Amino acid sequence: MRVRMELYAKIRRDARVEGVSIRGPAKRYQIGRDTVRQALSDPVPLAPGETTNAFESPRGPPRYPPPGRVHTTSEIAELFGVARSIAYRAIKRGTTASPK
């Protein structure tokens, strides 16, 4: 984390003192332009795995089942709270599985 904070500080200094574009620091430090934008917008870097927005997808949560598709065995098992093997056998028999 310390190395990333130092990198962010260097990027901000380059932008402030030299007035370079986003491509300049990206090329100089061999990082992505999105990282440069993040460094210029927020002084503290994000933790690994942390995202900038509250939603995983800009379209919101997926609908189940998505249009034109049926549930998979894993999805059915998760919905009913049973093991996949039990859901698979219940589908094969054509019956419903009992929850745990």
Please give the pLDDT value at position 9. Answer: 86
Residue 3 C-beta-side C-alpha neighbours within 13 Å: 1
* % of the chain residues with pLDDT over 70: 68
Please give the pLDDT value at position 55. Answer: 52
Three-class SS state of 38: helix
What ranges do the domains of the chain cover? Answer: 2-41, 64-100
Question: 97: which 2 tokens?
Answer: 């599985």
Using one digit for the tens of pLDDT, what is the confidence trace for 56-87?
Answer: 555 666 666 566 667 788 888 888 899 999 98
Cα separation, 25 vs 35, whole angstroms? 10
